[in-house]
Structure 1
Amino acid sequence: MPVLALALTALSSQAASIWPHLAANVIPVALANTAMLLLGVGLLCTVMGVGTAWLVTQYEFPGRRVFEWLLVLPLAMPTYITAYIYVEFLGFQGPLQSVLRALTGWRSLRDYWFPDPRNLAGAICIMAIVLYPYVYLSVRALFGLQGATIVESARTLGASRNRLFWRIGLPMARPALAAGLTLALLETLNDIGATEYLGVRSLTLSIYTTWLNRGSLPGAAQIACVMLLVVVALILVEARLRGQRRFALPVRQPRAVGRIRLAGRPALGAAIACALPVLFGAVLPIGFLIVEVLQRGLAQQLDAALLRNLANAVILSALAAGLVVALGLCIVAASRQGREAWLKPLARVASLGYAVPGTVLALGLLVPLAAFDNAVANAARALFGASPGLLLIGSGAALVIAYVVRFLAIAISGIDSGFSRVSPRIDDAARALGATAPEVLRRVHWPLARPAIAAAALLVFVDCLKELPATLLLRPLNVDTLATIVYGHASRGVFEEGALAGLLIVLAGLYPAIILARASGKRAG
């Protein structure tokens, strides 16, 4: 429905006169910036994610077990909050330049040069340091499943450490790398706060400014259609990279690879390589927020207004998480128990909403949902002489719908992983004893898959809490969440005033990130 609404809006009569201007002045620059942003983020995420995953799975060095789950923590940091933090931290009045001036005697920027993060290169580095865990998690799980027989055979044939990585490890991890990298790039496409604050005119930012600042809904729909083509291209590239490769493990659990123990400089180098992404992706940003809250006395902001905004965020995210988990449970159970051939492909189609950026999704939902609200209001006015107002858009239901569409894939993936550990023989035994399909779901699947279902609900809740583009565009008037508070302060140039709201978002995401790291580690083990 959102895609169809976008296409109809982009092809409307009003849009015909807008397209030449967009094609000549807006889309080429936005498309070039987006392509360079995706390329840079993809390269850095690959280097950091694959490199750290190889180190923690193949080598033994001081701190390896701690780094194994610490490397996931940057997932708790929204990209826009990280961008705000680094602009403040690296700015002229920030702590880093202030210390340099105090140590060297420099007084102004005429005395020295310092890199400015407000450009395309800064956006690439900042977003990559937050999004690399998508690659790390998927690749680490596959590296951990490689049987010792393959690796030891290669070592016996004289393969060096580098050759072992390039000829065996990386080719076998290619499907996982493609999947994790696609998730990171889709999150890059979805971002609006970081790109706007860092001065990068991406496709997402162009949609937002064309719609709200210039008041052109058809023009925004045309840019959104171009962005959807970029999304389709990413998915096709992911399928191409993955190819037809399938890797089978023995029926018996493969023997784990013995890690090579490092000592001296190699051990120190491995520890530093794993520590740097954690330092710049999680420790420094979280520490900056805590210092800002304490130094500025922002704890007093925890008043009725902030609690009300916190309640808005929690209620909307909890509603969406509940609906997403309920729908995901029904979809996974139906595809597992049903015998129809079309059920599993339909379940995959239901997961495609994650590939649609929040800005595009909000724009596509606005037209049909507004039409529904207007139709209900007109009917109520004709029948009862009174209008109920905007039922979906005015109540926040439109935002919950956007959350459900966008994050349903997370619930389906998580619940399916939990159901896959329940043997089909248990289902057959329950049916042989006379249990109906709902009874099997309630008395067998639910108790056994409950940890996976709870983890999926938690991840969806945190993703809804962090989601900025759809929240900005579909929230009701005079309704704010933690994400919009942080964005509002940053857009006015006083991000530090929203440090408490940013810290609350980050703290909410830390616990699910740790759970995800430990669960992934157990699966890899």
Structure 2
Amino acid sequence: MAERRAAVSGVTTALTTAALIVVVALPFVFIVLQAIFPDIGAGSFSRPFEHLGAVLKSEDFATQSANSLILGAGVVLTSALIATPLAAIRALYRLPGALIWDLLFLVPFMIPPYIATLGWVLSLQPAGYLQQLTGINLAGFLFSLPGIVFVMAMHTFPVIYFAASRSFAAIGARYSDVSRVFGAGPGRAFWRITLPLATPAVAASLLLVFAMTIEEYGTPAVLGARFDFDVLVTGIDTSLSDWPIDLPKAALLSLALIALSLAAFGFQRRIATARDFDVVGGKSTRAPQRNLGIWRGPALTLFALVAFVSTGFPLLAILATALSRTISGGLKPSNMGFENFRAIMTDSSGALSAMGTSFGLGLVAAIVAGFFGIAIAYVTTRGGSGRGRSLIDALAMLPNAAPGVVVALGLILLWNQPALPVTPYNTLGILVLAYVCILLPQPVRYTVAAFQQVNPSLEAAARVHGASATRTAWRVLVPLVAPSVLAAMLLVFTVAARELVASLLVAPVGTDTIGTYVWRQFDQGSIGEGMAVAFLTIIATTLVPLGILSALRKVERSGSSATNL
């Protein structure tokens, strides 16, 4: 029995490693090879590093790198200034409607950044909705560095808000109360006691925001193009899409972007492990939340203002555009109707086909990533040698360091090699590979955590009663981790169905996804139908997964109640 179990574990480890090498490792290997050997696409290893000096010395490389750092730092600072006071109020005081505010602040994170950015453009551009309603023209602000920082911060601040509020809640007010006894004011107690104790969570969220910012394509591409603000991500896209195509330069820019992301995560790890921040012991001594008192009104006003600007404003702009017969007609009742939604239903512009393609690809990617996540989690928690587990874990987390544009470049370089007898390139399979590679870390994290919560004694009991290793895994482990896997699959489906940059670069000729359809409709001036598709996508990819998860929780509760009876 032990020998058979070891053999099954070895086969599972080998197959999982091989699949990870093909799906994850090889695209990154070919990026490195392309950066070193400019003629690798023709099967030649000549002229190594010839392109390196020219790229590093070029003015646009220095500008794009500096702009990426400036943009990342600006978005981190702005997001922190917005999120930190909100998180402190949410965690330390009794805030009316706290769960509702949490839900409203979650919505901006669920809206694809490029769609939210298009909403901001429609609102603040010359003769946009804001100017029509108030006469105020903020186009000069929007199409500037502060404008890009502001728009991106409206999308990323929830990352800091949720991390910081949970950390502040765990710390409570008991430590600051001690400083208050010794004469410190509430502001000084917060800045000198509570905030430093929350350093690990806050630092992790800040650096995650930085990584998200430098990897984001849609917002810099839409807004930065108006005033020649290029970052590394848009530089990679330009190298791949503008003639003459420069693959070696795109590869080198990709490595620079990966290096920045890895540096951010490394810096976060160093901060988190530099000092001891234990604040939760075996006995709960958390002080109750305080009343806001006279600050109740200002606090609610602040929450309402942030919720409206981050959630309501772009959503209303998207809906208004979707209902407008013509953009030039403005916000007039006579210009409002459901013509754009009717056009989608008749599929006159291919919108319905694009939605069907995206939802189908998202479903396939979710299923593949879910089974892949189960296999990886099983190997890393239940089988395989120490080195094998470490290698698989590292490969599974590798996409964390790379944005979608880098993954797309790796797939282009890998699957366009002339020596390959068969290639998924220019088929829908290349999009599935791209989505799975980009989103694989999510199901792996969820499933590994679920496996770690399953007591090994359950597997031992199954084996004592004669079950094989395969049957034990299928009948015991998989059902127990199924809720976590389903949640991860829903996340993969949600993101994959509306993914933009990889779809733009590797989608087969003549194939539109939701992301490429909305993007091209905006470029071609058919903005109404594009925003109608965007609005329906937001509804479908936000409410449907939430509904499924809610139903799943009810089933779990009813099952638990039946078990207790």
Q: Quickly name the TM-score band, shorter chain normalised.
A: 0.7 to 0.9
**Aligned mates of 1:249, 1:37 — CA distance in 2:** 34
**Aligned mates of 2:342, 2:121 — CA distance in 1:** 25
Query: Following superposition of structure 1 onto structure 2, how do residues 132-281 of structure 1 map, counting pairs within 5 Å?
Result: 132-146=157-171, 150=175, 160-199=185-224, 200-214=229-243, 215-245=245-275, 252=282, 254=284, 256-264=286-294, 266-281=295-310
Pick one of 357, 360, 366 that aligns with 2:406.
Answer: 360
Equivalent in the alignment of 1:522: none
Instruction: Flag the 1:238–1:448 CA change in 2: closer, same or farther, 3 A.
Output: same
- Unpaired segments ≥5 residues, structure 1: 378-390, 520-525
The one-letter code sitting in structure 2 at the alignment partner of 1:56 is R
Equivalent in the alignment of 1:88: 122
Q: Secondary structure at the match of 1:71?
A: helix
Instruction: Flag the 1:313–1:139 CA change in 2: closer, same or farther, 3 A.
Output: same
Cα contact 1:118–1:197 (8 A) shared by 2: no
**Aligned mates of 2:301, 2:453 — CA distance in 1:** 37
Equivalent in the alignment of 1:51: 85
Equivalent in the alignment of 1:301: 343
Instruction: Flag the 1:468–1:324 CA change in 2: closer, same or farther, 3 A.
Output: same
Report Cα offsets for 1:331-379 as digits up to 9, x if no partner. Answer: 222222237433553324411212201111111221121227x5215xx
RCO higher in 1 or 2 (8 Å CA, sep ≥ 6)? 1
Equivalent in the alignment of 1:316: 361
Deviation at 1:428, TM superposition (A): 4.6
The one-letter code sitting in structure 2 at the alignment partner of 1:84 is L
TM-score by length of 1: 0.86
Instruction: Flag the 1:274–1:414 CA change in 2: closer, same or farther, 3 A.
Output: farther
Name the count of aligned residue pairs. Answer: 495
Equivalent in the alignment of 2:5: none
Query: Following superposition of structure 1 onto structure 2, how do residues 93-108 of structure 1 map, counting pairs within 5 Å?
Result: 93-101=127-135
Instruction: Flag the 1:417–1:146 CA change in 2: closer, same or farther, 3 A.
Output: farther
TM-score by length of 2: 0.80
Q: Secondary structure at the match of 2:127?
A: coil
Pick one of 34, 39, 62 that aligns with 1:28.
Answer: 62
Equivalent in the alignment of 2:417: 371
Cα contact 1:310–1:482 (8 A) shared by 2: yes
Instruction: Flag the 1:252–1:513 CA change in 2: closer, same or farther, 3 A.
Output: farther
Deviation at 1:89, TM superposition (A): 0.2
Deviation at 1:253, TM superposition (A): 6.8
The one-letter code sitting in structure 2 at the alignment partner of 1:196 is A
Equivalent in the alignment of 2:378: 333
Q: Secondary structure at the match of 2:133?
A: helix
Instruction: Flag the 1:375–1:64 CA change in 2: closer, same or farther, 3 A.
Output: closer
**Aligned mates of 1:136, 1:344 — CA distance in 2:** 34
The one-letter code sitting in structure 2 at the alignment partner of 1:99 is L
Cα contact 2:170–2:280 (8 A) shared by 1: no
Instruction: Flag the 1:510–1:28 CA change in 2: closer, same or farther, 3 A.
Output: same
**Aligned mates of 1:146, 1:425 — CA distance in 2:** 35
Deviation at 1:166, TM superposition (A): 2.4
- Unpaired segments ≥5 residues, structure 2: 1-25, 40-48, 326-338, 552-565
Instruction: Flag the 1:114–1:407 CA change in 2: closer, same or farther, 3 A.
Output: closer
Equivalent in the alignment of 1:351: 397
Cα contact 2:142–2:223 (8 A) shared by 1: yes
Report Cα offsets for 1:235-255 as digits up to 9, x if no partner. Answer: 222222223445557674735
RMSD: 2.9
Q: Percent identity?
A: 27
- Which sits farther off after the overlay, 139-148 or 76-85? 139-148
Deviation at 1:222, TM superposition (A): 2.1
**Aligned mates of 1:481, 1:364 — CA distance in 2:** 20
**Aligned mates of 1:350, 1:60 — CA distance in 2:** 41
**Aligned mates of 1:131, 1:517 — CA distance in 2:** 24
Cα contact 1:84–1:495 (8 A) shared by 2: no
Equivalent in the alignment of 2:541: 509
Report Cα offsets for 1:167-222 as digits up to 9, x if no partner. Answer: 34323322222332333222222222211110231111011111211322222222
**Aligned mates of 2:38, 2:324 — CA distance in 1:** 55
Deviation at 1:19, TM superposition (A): 4.9
